[in-house]
Amino acid sequence: MTSKLEQLKRYTTVVADTGDLDAISRLQPVDATTNPSLLLKAATFPRYARMMAQIQQEFHGNPEAACEQFAVAVGKEILSHIPGRISTEVDARLSFDEQATYESALRLIDRYELLGIDRQRVLIKIAATWEGIQAARRLEKLNIQTNLTLLFSFAQAAACADAGVYLISPFVGRIYDWYKKSHNRDYTGFEDPGVQSVSRIYRYYKGNNYQTVVMGASFRNLGQIEALAGCDRLTISPELLEQLSNTQGPLERHLHTDNPPVERSFIDEQSFRWAHNEDAMATEKLAEGIRAFAHDQEKLEKLFR
């Protein structure tokens, strides 16, 4: 019998959530994603030491630009090991500034193109705030495709679809963490709130013929991944990819594209902010995620000072 990883690949595009080239080469995902936390970890890998030294010299005195260049340089290395696309993230400190997010995305694309990488192989990751979603709307019109991350509420997902973003990354594991802590109980399989959130978004998108790709992210265990088999994409850590690769047994597809029509939600700024505010989990986890990525961004910048 084939491994559960190979079975999953029949239903879902598998994405590696890492900057570790060895893991990417070994596990052979289609796409890969990075974020400030993963780049901070990648900065400790010996294989990137020379790259970091060159960037430090070239961008001496400008740690923000050095971090952008490092993110793009790591992305280029990863692209040489995968057939698909790399997601590279805008500075989380810009999450509430539409124009600054838009301009940062343009700089990232320019840096990729200067290295000979076509923009069609890059997704710009942006936090799914109202401002981030509007910046993504503008970028999509320039044929710069986006990955809206730190997505926890249905309001965020509905607004992203209305904006025509290419892809969203709902965070399964962080939703699970919040409910586990808040309700003082564990969740498994289809009762998992993170699994239920992604399943609802997937059905809403397919039922309304939205083209936005759903990519479940931030997994805590194999059960969450297996329950979302059939989702457009799943971005998975190397540790869980290894477990899937080493696990035998049948893997059933649970999400399908032939969903019945679902009532469409119109989301303007006022209704978005209210609906998101009403979701305590989403409000807390979005703020927490932005703070954590911003903190790691600052740590990364210190390495280039």
Query: Which positions are annotated as active-site residues?
Result: 125
Distance from C-alpha of 104 to C-alpha of 69, rounded to nearest angstrom: 12
What would the 3-class secondary structure string for the chain be? CCCHHHHHHHHCEEEEECCCHHHHHHHCCCEEECCHHHHHHHCCCHHHHHHHHHHHHHCCCCHHHHHHHHHHHHHHHHHCCCCCCEEEECCHHHCCCHHHHHHHHHHHHHHHHHCCCCHHHEEEEEECCHHHHHHHHHHHCCCCCEEEEEECCHHHHHHHHHHCCCEEEEEHHHHHHHHHHHHCCCCCHHHCHHHHHHHHHHHHHHHCCCCCEEEEECCCCHHHHHHCCCCCEEEECHHHHHHHHCCCCCCCCCCCCCCCCCCCCCCCHHHHHHHHHHCHHHHHHHHHHHHHHHHHHHHHHHHCC
Cα-based angle 161, 128, 77 (whole degrees, multiple of 5): 100
Distance from C-alpha of 125 to C-alpha of 122, rounded to nearest angstrom: 9
